[in-house]
Structure 1
């Protein structure tokens, strides 16, 4: 097994806060429609709309806003007031303009590993929004490459590893989503490191590959440099 050459970082809820803004917007959405639908039913309907619309709109805030509008129309039986639609759109615009808040140790960890490895940001979602967040994060200059993909699949990771001249076994991906950041890179032949964020989107849930030799879990990014060193000192046979 070669030494690790490329380390991929997820962006949202790995390097900076993201899901908490979706949660707070959902709370406002529930309050807006409190007279039209019971909260548990409304949240379930919204989640189903998001699931249904991933193939149409992809990941990100814009698809989330469209799913909220669709849900509002559904639960009011086509009678949703225009003021509610206006508020949903304004809440989405507020999310798109929200300043970036880095997670603890994000900058320090990327800086440390960038001195010895190729560092690539691998994220999914709306292109303009992800570019905005990266620019505001102040981390852009630390990355050797930025990959914004429509979805994180084993094929997408295999293509990214190849584009960065990295054999799969020499590539490691770290992120907060088991479904997107851990399992697909492992299936592509690389390493997957799970760093829980605490707030997880239901559609990103997956069972961890506990017994896989290229799977690891750390409590925070501050532990990543030591883990990388340990993997390189004790490569798989």
Structure 2
């Protein structure tokens, strides 16, 4: 603990996917299977992956997030590559590739359950996740973590207005709030824009659309290696 100041009485707001439990790694396994299945005659895997990312970006803006939107993106990417509509057989093939998304069990990050028990004794804990409501709720229920949080919110998008709304809804000064997550784009940057502090815990499997540059000189952002490191600061 030497050289580290532990804070008390803070409002800690936690991201869910890829912060409390693994998520995107399952999507990436499906993408890897999709790239093999497509087997394009002229484009390599990296080129197909870039096309899929463009399709995902457009669909996220128009339709949000989650397995159903991801499945839609796979289908649209396939049709773009083949330059024709997918057949019924091909659509079933794509759906079979994505079966793992539905069957995937929630796998908590190491130390999450134990750390939340400790943190809940000193701070108010909130949960903020984005995505398709039913799908996110299923994961929240399966995690067996909800009892640690004062409230859990599922929102369609995370931006600065979302964090301003959260602080207002729960009546806390943004300067006393900390957004804890793995996504620069959805967790760290918009929270900072709303006047909150943030804790960045990187995940090597973070979705490419969640990447963004962080200012290492920003003193309002803590950079930690793993989730249990929170206990040294809070």
Rounded Cα–Cα distance in structure 2 between residues aligned with 1:4 and 1:87:
51
2:16: which partner in 1?
11
Q: Aligned partners of 2:39 and 2:88: how far apart in 1?
A: 16
Aligned mates of 2:127, 2:89 — CA distance in 1: 39
Give the corresponding residue for 2:3: none
> Between Structure 1 and Structure 2, how many residues are aligned?
227
- 2:233 counterpart of 1:213: no
**Which consecutive residues of structure 1, in runs of 5 or more, have no partner in the other structure?**
229-237
**Structure 2, unpaired ranges of 5+:** 1-6
Q: Is the 8 A contact 1:124 1:148 kept in 2?
A: yes
1:196 maps to 202
What CA RMSD, in Å, does the superposition of the two structures yield over aligned residues?
1.6
Q: Is the counterpart of residue 172 in structure 1 residue 178 in structure 2? A: yes
Residue 37 (structure 1) shift: 5.7
Partner residue, 2:39: 34
How far apart are residue 140 of structure 1 and its match? 1.3
Take 2:112 and 2:230, find their aligned partners in 1: how far apart are those partners? Answer: 10
TM-score (norm 1): 0.91
Report the Cα distance in structure 1 between the residues aligned to 2:96 and 2:134, rounded to whole angstroms: 18
Q: Distance in 1 between matches of 2:211 and 2:194?
A: 19
- Secondary structure, in 3 states, of the residue corresponding to 2:110? coil
Q: Distance in 1 between matches of 2:174 and 2:19?
A: 22
- How far off its partner does 1:163 sit? 0.8
CA contact (8 A) 1:62 1:92 kept: no
Which of these residues, 58, 78, 100, is aligned with residue 52 of structure 1?
Answer: 58
5 Å-filtered alignment, 1:69-80, equals 69-80=75-86
Determine if contact 2:9/2:124 at 8 Å carries over to the other structure. Answer: no
1:175-208 CA distances to partner (integer Å, 9 max, x unpaired)? 1111111111111111111001111211111111
Q: 2:158 aligns with which of 152, 156, 166?
A: 152
Cα distance in 2, alignment partners of residues 200 and 5 from structure 1: 26
Of 85, 95, 106, the match for 2:91: 85
8 Å Cα contact 2:22-2:108 kept in structure 1? yes
